[in-house]
Amino acid sequence: MNARKSFVIGHKNPDTDSIVSAVAYAELLRLQGVENVIAGRQGEAWRETRYILDRFGLPLPQLIEDVRPHAADVMNAHPVTGLLGESVYRVGRRMRDKEIRAVCVVDGEGRLHGLIGVEDFSSMLLTGLEDNRLDEIHLDVHNVVETLDARLLVEAKDRPLRDRVFVGAMSVESMLGRIEPDIMVVMGDRENAQRAAILEGVAALVITGGVPVSDEIVRLAREKNVTLIASPHHTFTTVRLLHLSIPVSYAMSRDVLTAAPDESLPDLRAKLTQQRSIPVVDAAERLVGVVSRTDLLSPLRHAVYLVDHNERSQTVDGLEEAELVAIVDHHRIADIQTAMPILFRNEIVGSTSTIIAELYDEAGCDIPPAIAGILLGGLITDTVLFRSPTSTPRDRHVARHLAERAGVDVNDYGSDIFAVASDLSGRTPRQIITTDFKEFRIEGVPFGVGYLETVHKQSVSEIRDDLLGEMLSLQKQQGYASLLLIIVDIVHGETEVLVQGLEEAVAEALGEPLLAPHTVMLPGVVSRKKQVIPILPRVAARWKRRP
């Protein structure tokens, strides 16, 4: 109930650095005592990311699409329940003992069938059940005995008990004129009336007042297959309690509002104006929790730690309804605003993985070998094995430490990763373009920038026309002023930039000529954030000056 979570999550369309940083930072927070930490991702993991995690035996982090609190976050996951066959009396006592005002009624497999609240008890006690329903109600003799705190003297075989009670408080002659077969008769210590009721074929005889029952009456009840019960209460109390021995299924409300575990709190609040408690059920209608009005008195806000980004358009949905606690990043400072001070760690290094590794050292925590392995993978991919201009001596120093801790060779490990990353088999042009893809809005002008590293440049060249066609389609579909795909040839150390939209402006801003209508070649390995994103304001200005 009110289980605050701490999400550690990277940007949309997450790259390897984003995902492994989330996994590693989440583990560091756990080591530092933060409870209920969840490493998350905002999209599908790349092949090389899955390879890195699999290589070190770590699971893919949870897909998180929204950090708003939901029903599962505020519900009582261990609610008090009643079973269909239980008596109203037993369920009512449970409600009284637990000081609750409603109970969910479930079957033996936990599926929800209804809800019984104090209002249902009030209605039943004040107005009773409808006469036409009484014939439907079969009482369980053991529920009756428990409710009355009585003694079962004779249990009839194969004779159902109906909730039709007759009080034998008149002469025997008058009583016999009113008795119906198979009803339940309640009376005191008049033995002649007891005998007459049994001989008349009643289903059950309840003798009140705690008086002794003669052996003859017991023998006769057994002979005539009549249930015989001795109640310690006087007649009025006995009759009142008998009505509480009916199965709770006859008194509960069946038309019940329910919620799914992922239902939003605003939707829950709306339902709680109509119903005191809202059962939370899974897809199979099994009860998994209950939300009451008191559960929503104190608004729940999950904690969020952002890694590898600080741009609002890249953050997880629902961040405005959460508490942003920290940002760890190596990109430009963008446009996230906070109401309160937070931890903001932004370093001039080649990867967020480098910073996370240093945070372990600063905290005095040894990096687990598996965590060291995935952080090294994130560092290698983001610096293109230290060929990117964003790479720094700090990255190399941290990489050596991580490699030693993980028990791998940096260059061999990097070759393995890029071989996996370069495999385009089974990937459509749209998937190739959008796997490592980010959207930017520069001075109100929208851009899309994809990034692809390969050790098999020829395989990319063979589908260049298909890529350009898909880029044009995506540009028009999303309304980008310009869409760029950066293709880094790791083997030859050069970069090709495919461009759809504002081609001349992009080439001019990059300082290189257009070699083809949509192609710019750049010497060396190019960094998206250091060499491409900074030129977008000039391209945006050109777009704004268009006729």
DSSP states along 67-100: -S-BHHHHSBSS--EEETTSBHHHHHHHHHHHT-
DSSP 474: H
Q: Which of 288, 285, 257 is nearest to 270 (CA)?
A: 257
* Positive/negative CA dihedral, 149, 153, 155, 160: negative
The residue ranges of every structural domain in the chain are 6-69+301-420, 139-236, 429-544
What is 139-236's CATH superfamily?
HprK N-terminal domain-like (3.40.1390.20)
301, exposed or middle or buried, with CB in 10 Å at 0-12, 13-18, 19+?
Answer: middle
Q: What is the dihedral of CA 58, 62, 67, 70, to 10 degrees?
A: -130
Indicate the length of the chain as a whole number: 547
Please, what sign has the CA dihedral across residues 106, 112, 114, 115? Answer: positive
Burial status of residue 255 (CB atoms within 10 A of its CB: 0-12, 13-18, 19 or more)? exposed
- Name every residue whose Cβ is closer than 8 Å to that of residue 434 and which is 6 or more positions away in sequence: 13, 450, 474
Of 502, 491, 493, nearest to 449 (Cα)? 502
Give the chain's end-to-end CA distance (angstroms, integer). 59
Which CATH architecture fits 6-69+301-420? Alpha-Beta Complex (3.90)
Q: Would you say 8 and 26 are in contact if contact means Cβ atoms under 8 Å apart?
A: yes
CB 84 within 8 A of CB 143: no
Tokens 């005592």 correspond to 33
Whether residue 329 contacts residue 305, with contact meaning beta carbons closer than 8 Å, is answered with no
CA–CA distance, 318 with 468 (Å, rounded to integer): 34
Q: What is the pLDDT of residue 131?
A: 44
**Gap between the Cα atoms of 309 and 329, Å rounded:** 6
Q: What CATH number does the domain located at 429-544 have? A: 3.10.310.20
- Give backbone dihedrals phi and psi of 448, rounded to 5 degrees, phi first: -125, 135
Q: What is the pLDDT along the chain (547 residues), one digit of tens a residue?
A: 557 899 999 999 899 999 999 999 999 999 999 999 999 999 999 999 999 999 999 999 999 999 999 999 999 999 999 999 899 999 999 999 999 889 999 999 999 999 998 887 777 665 555 444 444 567 889 999 999 999 999 999 988 887 788 898 888 888 888 888 778 999 999 999 999 999 999 999 999 999 999 999 999 999 999 999 999 999 999 988 888 888 898 889 999 999 999 999 999 999 999 998 999 999 999 999 999 988 888 778 999 999 999 999 899 999 999 999 999 999 989 888 888 899 999 999 999 999 999 999 999 999 999 999 999 999 999 999 998 889 999 999 999 999 999 999 999 999 999 989 888 888 899 999 998 898 999 989 999 999 998 888 888 999 999 999 999 999 999 999 999 999 999 888 889 999 999 999 999 999 999 999 999 999 887 778 778 889 999 999 988 887 6
* pLDDT at residue 516, as a whole number: 92
β-strands 519-523, 494-500: how paired? antiparallel
Q: How far apart are CA 243 and CA 226, in angstroms?
A: 20
pTM over 0.75: no
Asked whether the beta carbons of 59 and 400 are under 8 A apart, the reply is no
Give the pair of three-digit tokens for residue 125. 């006690």
The H-or-E segment that residue 187 falls in is strand 184-187
For 398-416, the DSSP string reads: HHHHHHHHHT--HHHHHHH
Q: What is the reported pLDDT for 161? A: 81
Tell the residue number behind the tokens 């020829």, with chain if given: 458
Question: Do the Cβ atoms of 287 and 281 come closer than 8 Å?
Answer: yes
- Do the Cβ atoms of 13 and 436 come closer than 8 Å? yes
Q: Which tokens go with 49?
A: 């990311």
